[in-house]
């Protein structure tokens, strides 16, 4: 857990760098960046059978990056919010099916209180500045009968969890993320003041299928730097953290 702005600033610098690299390898293709991820997002939306999308509904994707899941929702007002939005607008072809806004999950200013039917926060709550503030804001912006969808990595290595209790290993091993969760229960507990868990599932297999697609695509542009990056990623993800992606569906607490 870390609410320090300097940690967030550093994490966002790295995030921007990551997307600069993605933009450079995508340059010239002149295609909507999010389209490549369509099978991943559609598989997730298909799993969320509790959600019912209406033409007059408000569907918000916070921390959407250049790759909003909400663009694959077929009805309603589809809105994406991200602090790096001007950078994404400048460097990527974004889908036309959503309205992009610059903003943060802690404030969510483009959305009125009680306006959102569904808020998506995909691969996002471990990148933000202040989780407690974000959770209170998400609750305020959602309708009482709305839904919150979260996907987030959960660190699976018990040694990483033990070490993190003693020292801030993540500052060294994984400075791109401002928060780390060590079990689905921990995610549930962090939200428990304002949200009830409807259900969760591990969607690591979907994530791996997406990674295979990315690896296939990137084969042609393999450089030494790319190989080193892939090696470091293996050490971080598969040896040190052993993260797995989980999908959570929450409802606002009643009363």
Return residues touching ligand SAM (CB under 6 A): 12, 15, 62-65, 67, 82-84, 104-106, 122-124, 127-129
Minimum gap (Å) between residue 15 Cβ and ligand SAM: 5
2: which 2 tokens? Answer: 């870390």
In this structure, are residues 94 and 66 in contact, taking their beta carbons and an 8 Å threshold? yes
Q: Which residue is nearest to ligand SAM (CB)?
A: 65
Task: Considering the complex, state which of residue 115 and residue 153 has its C-beta at the smaller distance from ligand SAM.
Answer: 153
Q: Please, what is the minimum distance in Å from the beta carbon of residue 134 to ligand SAM?
A: 7
> What is the rounded CA–CA span in Å between residue 2 and residue 17?
21
Q: Which is nearer to ligand SAM, 67 or 115 (CB)?
A: 67
Please state the closest distance from residue 98 (CB atom) to ligand SAM, in A. 12
| Residue 127 vs 246, nearer CB to ligand SAM | 127
| Nearer to ligand SAM among residue 2 and residue 104 (C-beta) | 104
Give the integer Cα–Cα distance in Å for 108 and 115. Answer: 11
Nearer to ligand SAM (CB atom), residue 33 or residue 58: 33
Separation between Cα atoms, residue 124 and residue 120, nearest integer Å: 9
Q: Which two tokens stand for residue 163?
A: 């070490």
Task: Return the SS3 of 208.
Answer: helix
Q: What is the DSSP string of 121-170?
A: EES-TTS-S-HHHHHHHHHHHEEEEEEEEEEEEEE--HHHHHHHHHS-HH
Q: Least separation, in Å, of the C-beta of 64 and ligand SAM?
A: 5
> Smallest distance from the beta carbon of 167 to ligand SAM, in angstroms?
24
Q: Distance (Å, rounded) from C-alpha 23 to C-alpha 191?
A: 34
Closer residue to ligand SAM in complex, CB, 87/163: 87
CA-closest candidate to residue 61, choices 130, 114, 121? 121
Chain centroid offset of residue 106 CA: 14
Of 53, 50, 108, 107, residue with least CA distance to 78: 53
**Helix residue ranges, H only, 32-128:** 38-47, 85-91
What's the min distance (Å) between Cβ of 4 and ligand SAM? 13
Query: Minimum distance between the CB of residue 60 and ligand SAM, rounded to whole angstroms?
Result: 11
Give the residues across from 215 on adjacent strands: none
């Amino acid at each position: 857990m870390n609410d320090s702005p300097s940690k967030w600033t550093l994490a966002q610098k790295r995030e921007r760098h990551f997307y600069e690299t993605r933009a450079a390898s995508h340059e010239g293709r002149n295609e909507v960046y999010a389209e490549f991820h369509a099978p991943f997002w559609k598989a997730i939306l298909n799993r969320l059978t509790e959600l019912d999308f209406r033409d007059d509904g408000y569907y918000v994707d916070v921390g959407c990056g250049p790759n909003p899941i909400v663009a694959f929702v077929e009805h309603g007002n589809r809105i994406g919010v991200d602090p790096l939005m001007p950078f994404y607008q400048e460097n990527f072809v974004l889908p036309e099916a959503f309205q992009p806004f610059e903003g943060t999950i802690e404030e969510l200013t483009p959305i009125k209180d009680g306006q959102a039917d569904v808020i998506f926060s995909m691969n996002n709550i471990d990148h933000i500045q202040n989780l407690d503030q974000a959770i209170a804001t998400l609750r305020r912006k959602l309708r009482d009968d709305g839904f919150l969808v979260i996907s987030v990595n959960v660190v699976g290595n018990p040694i990483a969890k033990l070490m993190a209790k003693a020292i801030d290993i993540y500052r060294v091993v994984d400075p791109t993320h401002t928060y780390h969760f060590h079990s689905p229960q921990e995610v549930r507990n962090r939200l428990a003041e304002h949200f009830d868990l409807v259900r969760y599932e591990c969607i690591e297999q979907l994530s791996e299928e997406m990674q295979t697609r990315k690896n296939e695509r990137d084969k042609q542009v393999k450089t030494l730097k790319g190989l080193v990056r892939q090696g470091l990623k293996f050490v971080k993800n598969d040896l040190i953290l052993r993260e797995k992606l989980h999908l959570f569906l929450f409802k606002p607490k009643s009363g």
